[in-house]
Chain A
Amino acid sequence: MKRSPDESARDLLEGLPPADGGDVAVRRLRQRVLDSISAAREKQPNRSPRMVRRLALGATFFVASAAIVLLWSPWRQPPTAVLASVQSIDGAPILWARNVENGIEWLTLRDGAFRVRIRPHGADRRVVVHVPEGRVDDLGTIFDVRIQGGKTISVSVLDGHVQLWFGGARGVILGAGEIWEAPPSPNSVPRPTTPIAPATKVEPQSAVTPQKVTSSEKVRGGSSHRPAVRKPANDDRSEDAAYLKVVDLLRSGQRDKARTVARDYVRHFPAGFRRTEMEAIAK
């Protein structure tokens, strides 16, 4: 008698080989299951299941009541409150996207000049900013990012710190007033290498607008390129900050980085208070 299509499918399945793993596996799993349950019950106090159910009911009622109170609380934050505000620096259109999941806020910056402000938050939240080549981690900040033609041109910090994770800038931390700029492409015109004239004055830094200071350092391309981190000049607080940074690097054993920052100090603060010590470290 011809089998129906459904019966044919059932016949096929009945041809499946056994798959329970064998007697040994089944017996071993039995012991494991009973041991797990025994261990779990030993951890619980000696209550009857009925008492456990009553306690669970009471706890559920309490949690539900607390949830109702919190929902109506004036200081309740909306469940999807965002931490970061993103604006265009120059009013031109910007291309970006946001996604929030599991306490992490992901910003993807595609094109334009962005001003990103991240409000203070607890350790259970985090903001990660993706740029075309990698990401910028918020450490409590206001910072600017310029992206053009699918390439990150610069990152400058107005307040707080960020840590960069792309290209030759992996792991670099920028503080307030510091700027990272992308190295020029190999075909671009070389930068001028004349040093800053000592008489060159830079206006004192405002808290909002970091100054760019021209540097005599040559920009090297490729993966060994050091990020062009620029510091404001002729500012006591910046001079102290630069000195303290060298000290921190030395304490953490990063001798090469300390030497680099010391050289920057010597270059930017020719009449600096700690020039002698910095020259010794920069050698």
Chain B
Amino acid sequence: MARTADGARDDADTTALRHVADGDVNALGEVYDRHARSLLTFVARVSGPIDAEDVVHTVFVRAARLAGSYDGRASSARSWLFGITAKVLQERRRSFVRGVRALLRLDSMAAPAVIPAMGSRTDIERSLAALTEAKRVVILLADLEGFTCDEIAQMLGIPVGTVWTRLHHARRELRNFYEGAP
């Protein structure tokens, strides 16, 4: 059976991550070269371009630490990395919300927006920004990055039914916003 390009890439990722686990830092560079752009794009679209480099930096540092636990049985290294990315985004968002709540308790002040402004320029970016972060993550993973709903459910640690629901609502809201429908 002919091997697909994805299959060959998965093998290369698995081998590289095994080398990273054994202490070869340069092997992580190979994984980075294959996946960093799509991760940066994904993070920039979920939470804005300002923090995207920091988030992806955290993802690869964490991936290096966890490389020993990657055994290739996950669907692919790519979905494994996106799963780490989704977790990092979730942690940062929760940390930001906790910080805002603590400030509000210490003194009265106007509550800042929970999600920083994304500085969208185009209509489609604005329509994406209008979605909740949970829906934005799912629709980008499904419709731009090409992951299946099962893969997304595994990455995010949520039921696949939840993924389907969020995806359905996200697509409808995106369409309605862009087309100006109520």
Interface, chain A (partner B; CB < 8 A) = 5-6, 8-10, 12-21, 25-26, 29-30, 32-34, 36-38, 40-41, 48-49, 53, 102, 106
What is the CA–CA distance of A34 and B26 in the complex, to the nearest angstrom?
A: 7
Contacts of B172 in A (CB 8 A): 5, 9
23 cross-chain CB contacts under 8 A: A5-B175, A9-B143, A9-B172, A9-B175, A10-B171, A12-B124, A13-B144, A15-B122, A15-B124, A16-B122, A17-B125, A19-B40, A19-B41, A20-B38, A20-B40, A21-B44, A21-B52, A26-B37, A26-B40, A29-B36, A30-B29, A37-B28, A41-B23
Does B64 belong to the interface (CB within 8 Å)? yes
What is the CA–CA distance of A21 and B40 in the complex, to the nearest angstrom?
A: 8
Q: How far is the CB of A136 from chain B (nearest CB, A)?
A: 14
> Contact: A12 with B127, CB < 8 Å?
yes
Candidates A6, A25, A53; contact of B53 at CB < 8 Å: A25
Which of B5-13, B55-63, B81-89 is found at the contact surface with chain A? B55-63
Interface size class of B (residues with CB under 8 A): 35 or more
> Contact: A17 with B29, CB < 8 Å?
no
Does B156 belong to the interface (CB within 8 Å)? no
With A18-B41, A19-B49 as contacts: A37 and B125 at CB distance below 8 Å: no
Does B73 belong to the interface (CB within 8 Å)? no
> Contact: A13 with B140, CB < 8 Å?
yes
Question: Across the two chains, which residue of chain A brings its CB closest to B177?
Answer: A12
Q: How far is the CB of A91 from chain B (nearest CB, A)?
A: 31
CB interface residues, B 99-136, toward A, < 8 Å: 102, 105, 121-122, 124-125, 127-128
What is the CA–CA distance of A20 and B41 in the complex, to the nearest angstrom?
A: 5
> Contact: A9 with B29, CB < 8 Å?
no
Question: Across the two chains, which residue of chain B brings its CB closest to A106?
Answer: B105
What is the CA–CA distance of A181 and B128 in the complex, to the nearest angstrom?
A: 56
Question: Across the two chains, which residue of chain B brings its CB closest to A52?
Answer: B68
Interface class of chain A by DSSP = helix
> Contact: B57 with A32, CB < 8 Å?
yes
Q: How far is the CB of A197 from chain B (nearest CB, A)?
A: 45
Candidates B21, B53, B174; contact of A13 at CB < 8 Å: B174
Contacts of B29 in A (CB 8 A): 30, 34
Does B78 belong to the interface (CB within 8 Å)? no
What is the CA–CA distance of A144 and B105 in the complex, to the nearest angstrom?
A: 23
> Contact: B56 with A29, CB < 8 Å?
yes
Contacts of A32 in B (CB 8 A): 53, 57
Question: Across the two chains, which residue of chain B brings its CB closest to A99?
Answer: B105
> Contact: A20 with B174, CB < 8 Å?
no
> Contact: B28 with A34, CB < 8 Å?
yes
What is the CA–CA distance of A33 and B54 in the complex, to the nearest angstrom?
A: 10
Question: Across the two chains, which residue of chain B brings its CB closest to A102?
Answer: B102
> Contact: A30 with B36, CB < 8 Å?
yes
Question: Across the two chains, which residue of chain A brings its CB closest to B167?
Answer: A6
Candidates B64, B128, B170, B174; contact of A37 at CB < 8 Å: B64
What is the CA–CA distance of A6 and B174 in the complex, to the nearest angstrom?
A: 10
Most chain A CB within a 10 A radius of its CB, from B21, B37, B125, B170: B37
Contacts of A6 in B (CB 8 A): 171
